[in-house]
Amino acid sequence: MAAKLGIYKCEHCGNIVEVFVEGAAPIVCCGENMIFMEEKTADHSTEKHVPFIEETESGYTVRVGENAAHPMTEEHYIQWIELLVGDYVLRKELKPGDEPAAEFFCSHNDSAVAREYCNVHGHWKSE
């Protein structure tokens, strides 16, 4: 079953899919079921992967890594940062060399959650 807002990855070609409508069938790529990417949270050894949300006057800023910014090299970088606010899903795609941060202009909401995807270490979310 495909979970709403679940992130799935193909182990063969690297395709990544986010589900917007929950369905009963598995998600298939390259002839095999895609792997559900669990949302990881804080771990002291990988602190640079956790997205941190800062409320701003016009919305939110999300930074990846609280005390040390995540690397943004060709080999190891954050592919995207996403903010879930109420009924909205806001996303910024990143590339090597970019700052591992994103500004989102939206209304404030107590349930704001940030998620990000590292090309080496997978899917992470704020606590």
Mean per-residue pLDDT, 53-60: 96
Which CATH fold topology does 44-125 show?
Immunoglobulin-like (2.60.40)
Q: What is the pLDDT of residue 19?
A: 96
Tell whether domain 7-36 is in CATH 2.60.40: no
Per-residue pLDDT tens digits for 76-115: 999 999 999 988 999 999 999 999 999 999 999 888 999 9
Among 119, 24, 4, smallest CA distance to 70 is for 119
What is the residue extent of each domain of the chain? 7-36, 44-125
State pTM to two decimals: 0.90
Q: What is the pLDDT of residue 47?
A: 72
Q: Which of 48-52, 55-59, 65-69 has the lowest mean pLDDT?
A: 65-69
